[in-house]
Chains A and B, each alone.
Chain A
Amino acid sequence: MSTLTTHKQDVSMVARNLNIYYGDFQAVKDVNLEIKKNKITAIIGPSGCGKSTVLRSFNRMNELVPTARTEGEIIFEGIDIYAPEIDAVEVRSRIGMVFQKPNPFPKSIYENVAWGAKINGFKGDMNELVENSLRRAALWDEVKDKLDQSGLSLSGGQQQRLCIARAIAVKPDLILMDEPASALDPVATLKIEDLMRELSKNYTIIIVTHNMQQAGRASDYTAFFNMNPDRAGYLVEYDETAKLFTNPKEKLTEEYITGRFG
């Protein structure tokens, strides 16, 4: 992979003039964004503003939608992930994804975690990798005695942490999370948020959330997206979370976060 010379050390990913279409419909318009390394960035905005579409473009998951087309650049660690020579599967191994609904495979807890590494031809100590991943996902103590049980036997919160363990087992640099706690109860939600803080020491995290309090609690930076009248999503404001939630620059952001719009 060739490295772009403009890459900044504290930046994990840069979106430049990002435009995303589904057929004729423009879903995302002219997004420019710099994601800081080892920080948690939240993407917030009203329904349909393109949050998830943007997130999915960050590891080329959009390509799985037949009509989707992405224009502009997404530079990850200095590399344009949409460059023709770049393999989408490799991109997805470096940039993991955790979904809204926990989706463990109908396999054992152990196999759920080992799966990605196995596919990637991991040659090291698999037991150690599984244990470390489960520890990092704050799940090890709860499952160490039942690793051969089905991942589906776990509670919703545990299943989501299992999916996080599965994502980090392939040693990504960046983890994308699409509403990772929206299907969980408040206790499991706070556990995931604590886990995100812990994980951000080693990984960059981008989280899409509908829950503004969650964005406030769990992120370092927040990007607020809104929808044009033609329904194309665009970036309104991007700043440190503490700043954006106490003193946003844009009136639209103020109206959205104070619940007066949206």
Chain B
Amino acid sequence: MTREYMDNLLNQLKDDVLILESMVREAVLNGVKALMTGDKKLSKQVIRGDQEINDKRFQIENECLITIATQQPMAGDLRTLASVLEIITELERIGDYAKGIAKITKLTRNQEILPPLENLVPMAEISVDMLQKSVKAFVDGDVEAARVIPDRDDQVDDYFNKIYKGLVKYMVEDPDKIKLANHLQWAAHNIERMADRVTNICERTLFIQTGSIYQIEDFKDLDLDDDEVEIHDIN
């Protein structure tokens, strides 16, 4: 086995992706916590922390480009580097979702969180767990894990639909709550999108390991006659 230097570069990049993932994971959990508890200090911390996530992403991107330019990667190495560029983009966007949720804490202006949003906590916990496992699968090159992680997106969608239905009920019954419910709706939407991005990360792991681009069927249960699903889809 030669090319120890290249292996070290790739391992360093994987470590950096793990660090970025942990930063993003913490941002999402803190963002949700800040919203649920009305903790403005914590929400500010999440908003400010997004810059660090962005900086880390650009640092990794730069390392990838330097490695591509100087090492002429081929085959599996090349697919890994191309995938790292994709994965860090997904992670950075998930960081933006966390920031978005933190901003909603400010927008709700000390109002009580509406009860349907209690589903946001387990929804975020599942999504964050999926995220962590998807990045681990990438680092480990674990095809089997990458295949099954996206299945849990259905649970995330179920929570989303519960939150959505519950908030709509509030909007109908009390028009004064429309603005608040709408803001909270966006928080749930952000977590739902996050789980979709986890699927993209899993697809990259499959690509690295197999050389083929797989699109994991994320709308396999889509029922076009179901209004709720349709609206969820538009969101």
Q: What is the 8 Å Cβ interface bit string for chain B, positions 9-26, against chain A (1 contact, 0 not)?
A: 000000000000000000
| B residues 1-51 in Cβ contact with A at 8 Å | 1-3, 6
| A residues 211-244 in Cβ contact with B at 8 Å | 212-213, 216
- Nearest chain A CB to B215 CB, angstrom units: 17
Residues from chain B with a CB closer than 8 A to the CB of A121 are: none
- Closest B-chain residue to A257, C-beta based? B74
Are the CB atoms of A246 and B75 closer together than 8 Å? yes
Main SS class of interface, B: loop
- Closest B-chain residue to A254, C-beta based? B75
Residues from chain B with a CB closer than 8 A to the CB of A216 are: 74
Are the CB atoms of B1 and A246 closer together than 8 Å? no
- A21 CB-CB contact with B under 8 Å: no
- Nearest chain A CB to B203 CB, angstrom units: 15
Are the CB atoms of A248 and B3 closer together than 8 Å? no
Are the CB atoms of A254 and B76 closer together than 8 Å? yes
Are the CB atoms of A212 and B2 closer together than 8 Å? no
Are the CB atoms of A259 and B3 closer together than 8 Å? yes
Contact of A247 among B1, B6, B79 (CB under 8 A): B79
- Closest B-chain residue to A247, C-beta based? B211
Are the CB atoms of B3 and A247 closer together than 8 Å? no
Residues from chain A with a CB closer than 8 A to the CB of B211 are: 246-247
Contact (A259, B75) CB under 8 Å given A246-B211, A247-B211: no
Docked Cα-Cα span, A261 to B76, in Å, equals 14
Docked Cα-Cα span, A76 to B153, in Å, equals 57
- Nearest chain B CB to A240 CB, angstrom units: 13
- B72 CB-CB contact with A under 8 Å: yes
- A260 CB-CB contact with B under 8 Å: yes
- A140 CB-CB contact with B under 8 Å: no
Are the CB atoms of A246 and B79 closer together than 8 Å? yes
Q: What is the 8 Å Cβ interface bit string for chain B, positions 71-92, against chain A (1 contact, 0 not)?
A: 0111111110000000000000
- Nearest chain A CB to B95 CB, angstrom units: 30
Docked Cα-Cα span, A82 to B195, in Å, equals 64
Residues from chain A with a CB closer than 8 A to the CB of B1 are: 260-261
- Nearest chain A CB to B3 CB, angstrom units: 4
- Nearest chain B CB to A262 CB, angstrom units: 8
Residues from chain A with a CB closer than 8 A to the CB of B212 are: 247
Are the CB atoms of B75 and A247 closer together than 8 Å? yes
Residues from chain B with a CB closer than 8 A to the CB of A155 are: none
- Nearest chain B CB to A239 CB, angstrom units: 12
List the interface of chain B (C-beta within 8 A of A).
Answer: 1-3, 6, 72-79, 211-212
CB-defined A-B contacts under 8 Å, sample of 30: A212-B74, A213-B72, A245-B74, A245-B78, A246-B74, A246-B75, A246-B78, A246-B79, A246-B211, A247-B211, A247-B212, A248-B75, A253-B75, A254-B75, A254-B76, A257-B74, A257-B75, A258-B3, A258-B6, A258-B73, A258-B74, A258-B75, A258-B76, A258-B77, A259-B2, A259-B3, A259-B6, A259-B74, A260-B2, A260-B3
Q: Give 9 closest A-B pairs by Cβ, nearest first.
A: A247-B211, A257-B74, A259-B3, A254-B75, A258-B77, A258-B74, A245-B74, A260-B3, A213-B72
